[in-house]
Amino acid sequence: MRVLVACDKFKGSLSAAEACEAIANGLWEAAPGTEVDQAPIADGGEGFTQSVHDVLGGEWVTCNTLDAIGRPCESRYLVVGDMAVMEMAEANGLEMIEKEQRDVFCSNTAGTGIMMRHAVENYSVKRIVMGIGGSATNDAGAGMAVELGATFYDSAGNPLMPVPAELARAVKFDGSGIMKMPDILVASDVRNPLLGSSGATAIYGPQKGVEDFSAMESILKNIMLVCDGETTAEREGAGAAGGLGFGLMHFCEAELVNGFEWLAQELNMEERIAKADLIITGEGSLDAQTAEGKGPAGIARMAKEAGKPVVAMAGRIEDGAEKMFDRHYALANIGLPLEQCIAQGAVLLRNVAKEEAAKW
């Protein structure tokens, strides 16, 4: 029996690699002769660079940068040959900011721009692949653009700090100073436009603490108008990471790609699925968003196309999500308190893998 185990992270409990290893250990314990191919996956959010490193290797690089509210911090990214792979959440992630310190009107993506500049200036990379999940910002990538050489001005001709509270007064944009950038791929599973009822503020603002939605939407619209970004704002993914998708596409001519699909190609996932008798995938939560470009949904689709059975193992599985899989296991159904499930994630995953192996 040859099994491909391709899991995303179990947020707060296990990395993608740790989840795959726990399942593999359970399979080996119950069925010692099982061949297990472990392929940690990600879709552009937290853990994306680690998943790339698990397969492609490369050199971890540390960089002094700024978090979303401008505090000095250290981030890391991956250099593989002439390619830099990074996550905006390493510099401007929501989890880096204490809840009482979060202020999205005074937050920006400058730290992400610093990381990008660092990779270009120190490693002369020819390609940057940027995962943009888990952001604390809603600045349409303005902070990043300014770090790369752009300037926003008020009506008196004064340069503005690139945070939403200041950019409400922007009347002019000068992008002529933006440094020459390599090819940029934006890895994201988010398809939202910049503005409107399905835009960055309306959909993702609540989790970042936005309360005055009208004011924030007005600011994003002003940024868009000042830099002539109407067409870019309507593109799929422009609303990703508080509009960083817009900024990368508009200011850096980036190409937006599905994070999972890009990684699947790098992992030779189609070939690995073809060689397997069974595919196991999963992540912390399988829900309504899973089908919208998330890794486990991509694995399930590829498995079905190859005529291979696919099993899901997750922390929890909402009604409807289970339809994508032939069998499914939810750790939440074991009956333990949530805190215990999180703390014992590896043990519980190993146990459900043993249960799956027993079915063979």
Task: Name the residue with higher pLDDT: 353 or 189.
Answer: 353
**pLDDT for 352 beyond 70:** yes
Which of the 8 DSSP states describes residue 66? E
Read off the pLDDT of each residue in 242-253 and give the average, rounded to a whole number.
Answer: 98
- The C-alpha atoms of residue 144 and residue 116 are separated, in whole angstroms, by 9
* Cα separations in angstroms, 335 against 199, 243, 331, 332, 339: 37, 40, 8, 6, 12
Which amino acid belongs to residue 284?
G
Q: What share of the chain is helix, strand, coil (3-state, %, to 5)?
A: 45, 20, 35
Q: Does 68 lie in the same domain as 211?
A: yes
Contact 115, 30 (CB under 8 A): no
Question: How do residues 161-194 score in pLDDT, each as one tens digit?
Answer: 999 999 999 999 999 999 999 999 999 878 899 9
Residue 81, token pair as written in the block: 């040959």
Give the CATH number of the domain where residue 92 resides: 3.90.1510.10
Question: How do residues 47-88 score in pLDDT, each as one tens digit?
Answer: 789 888 877 889 999 999 999 999 999 999 999 999 999 999
Q: Does 241 lie in the same domain as 131?
A: yes
Q: Does 60 lie in the same domain as 29?
A: no
Nearest to 129 by CA among 140, 116, 111: 116
Q: Residue holding tokens 């609303």? A: 239
3-state secondary structure of 179: coil
Split into its structural domains, the chain has a count of 2
Q: Does 272 lie in the same domain as 252?
A: no
Of 259, 293, 322, the domain-final residue: 259
Of 259, 284, 317, the domain-final residue: 259
**What residues contact residue 305 under an 8 Å CB cut-off, 6+ apart?**
none
What's the pLDDT at 293? 64
Q: Does 274 lie in the same domain as 166?
A: no
What's the pLDDT at 188? 87
What's the pLDDT at 225? 98
Give the CATH number of the domain where residue 296 resides: 3.40.50.10350
Q: Does 82 lie in the same domain as 33?
A: no
Identify the band that residue 292 occupies on the pLDDT scale cut at 50, 70 and 90: low
Q: Does 55 lie in the same domain as 36?
A: no
Q: Does 320 lie in the same domain as 278?
A: yes
pTM for the full predicted model: 0.84
What's the pLDDT at 43? 78
Read off the pLDDT of each residue in 202-207 and give the average, rounded to a whole number.
Answer: 95
Q: Does 279 lie in the same domain as 253?
A: no
Q: Does 280 lie in the same domain as 305?
A: yes
Residue 140, token pair as written in the block: 């349409």
Question: How do residues 120-136 score in pLDDT, each as one tens digit?
Answer: 999 999 999 999 988 99
Q: Does 280 lie in the same domain as 161?
A: no
What's the pLDDT at 315? 96
Q: Does 100 lie in the same domain as 235?
A: yes
Of 232, 259, 286, the domain-final residue: 259
Q: Residue holding tokens 């911090």? A: 73
Range of the domain at 324: 2-40+268-358
Residue 327, token pair as written in the block: 């069998």
- The C-alpha atoms of residue 247 and residue 233 are separated, in whole angstroms, by 9
Give the CB-side neighbour count of residue 14, counting CA atoms within 13 A. 30
